[in-house]
Structure 1
Amino acid sequence: MSNSKLYKGSLSTIILKLLAENNKMYGYEMTQRVKELTQGELTITEGALYPALHKLEADGFLEVEMQKVDNRLRKYYKLTQAGTQERVNRIEELERFIETIQGIVNPKPSLG
């Protein structure tokens, strides 16, 4: 997908959805999962991911858990209770937006 601007507004929603499905994840794991789910069509850069993660954490939607893995500290993110509710809200909002755009891109013929 050449125009990464299209997904930037949805990045937080993507993060919340991934964490709801996987309980907790670290950043690189998220980028790889998105690449896998989209068969390489969508690539999330660290430059986009980490500011989004930090904002979600600052807003109280994520909590961080540090774990030692191979003598390194790894930062895992997981949803808070508020984050779980925010995910529901954002998914609904995104689905409505997609339907609206579909109506523009592929309008149904009017029956009138």
Structure 2
Amino acid sequence: METDRIIKGSLSAVVLQLLQLNGRMYGYEITRAVQDGSKGKTRVTEAALYPTLHKLETAGLLDTETEMVDGRLRKYYKLNRKGKKESALQLEALQDAISSLQKILKYRLKHG
């Protein structure tokens, strides 16, 4: 789907905002949140998600906790203070981009 490509281009902002709203989450929860939040129109694969999570973690925006759940290790991600600030900045940038796109898509040349 074309929508998936657009979302993937904004995946860092999406992940940061989901963590801002939901607290700590593990990878599968994030993929489900994207799918459920888009009413099934968008899917994020693990192949797209985990590099994004690792990039955010390396940038010092996320803290992680590993827990044993049903005999398996599960890694949880949550925003730290720096991540919360970055989430707000990326959300604002994404909203500005959407607003600009909406204006561009409605733009008509003035013929004079």
TM-score under structure 1 length normalisation: 0.92
Using the TM superposition, give the Cα deviation of residue 109 of structure 1 relative to its aligned residue in structure 2, in angstroms: 9.0
Q: Which ranges of structure 2 fall in alignment gaps of 5 or more residues?
A: none
Counterpart-to-counterpart distance in 1, 2:47 and 2:61: 20
Counterpart-to-counterpart distance in 1, 2:25 and 2:59: 18
Residue correspondence of structure 1 range 37-48 to structure 2 within 5 A: 37-48=37-48
Structure 1 window deviating more from structure 2 (64-73 vs 99-108): it is 99-108
Cα RMSD, aligned residues only: 1.7
Using the TM superposition, give the Cα deviation of residue 106 of structure 1 relative to its aligned residue in structure 2, in angstroms: 2.2
* Identity level (%): 44
Counterpart-to-counterpart distance in 1, 2:36 and 2:53: 20
In the other structure, the counterpart of 2:101 is 101
TM-score under structure 2 length normalisation: 0.92
In the other structure, the counterpart of 2:51 is 51
Q: Answer 1 or 2: which has greater helix percent.
A: 2
Counterpart-to-counterpart distance in 1, 2:40 and 2:77: 23
User: Which portions of structure 1, spanning 4 or more consecutive aligned residues, are displaced by more than 6 angstroms?
Assistant: none
Using the TM superposition, give the Cα deviation of residue 5 of structure 1 relative to its aligned residue in structure 2, in angstroms: 2.2
